[in-house]
Structure 1
């Protein structure tokens, strides 16, 4: 399993958000470098996005919410959600995204 994982839940529909395109990038000397890209599965999870381990540093997940909203017949306000976070140790970093057409929330999960 990747050290960095994510899970997207559609709070409007009350279900996992399947089919959300997600990109993982690292900040290297202030420049974002893509590490991996993928899509959430039927449970809304991107379990194997990225390497098994990453060094400490700044990372981001970019969620293509416009594609997801279009696929589910919703009109959204945020065409993408960018979540930037710092990795400070070798622990597992799980970054859930709670999504609706007009708002989102995120936190460090377990």
Structure 2
């Protein structure tokens, strides 16, 4: 069984991990996560491809702490913005859903929550 201590193998940048910068109000925070970019398609040996539906970053819970909707994240040289509240998966990991960050976008939500 895989435990929290085994995550280091998966998050290693030489394996599945991707370096990311979380741009928090308290300052930038460097983390390593598993990046899923639906624009990067996987080709199948027999033909065709598999494509995801939403860009996301999987982080250990402690690295995702303090993230909020509309926070900025830099992953793989691109700026992203959190499009919804981070979702704990119950296994010590949190999924962060990302949307394209446009310099023209406001950092304040138009709708008050």
Q: Specify which structure has the higher proportion of strand.
A: 1
> Does the pair score TM above 0.5?
no
Q: Specify which structure has the higher proportion of helix.
A: 2
Structure possessing the higher relative contact order (Cα contacts under 8 Å, 6 or more residues apart): 1
User: Could you state the TM-score of these two structures normalised by the residue count of structure 1?
Assistant: 0.30
User: Could you state the TM-score of these two structures normalised by the residue count of structure 2?
Assistant: 0.29
Q: Please identify the structure whose Cα radius of gyration is greater.
A: 2
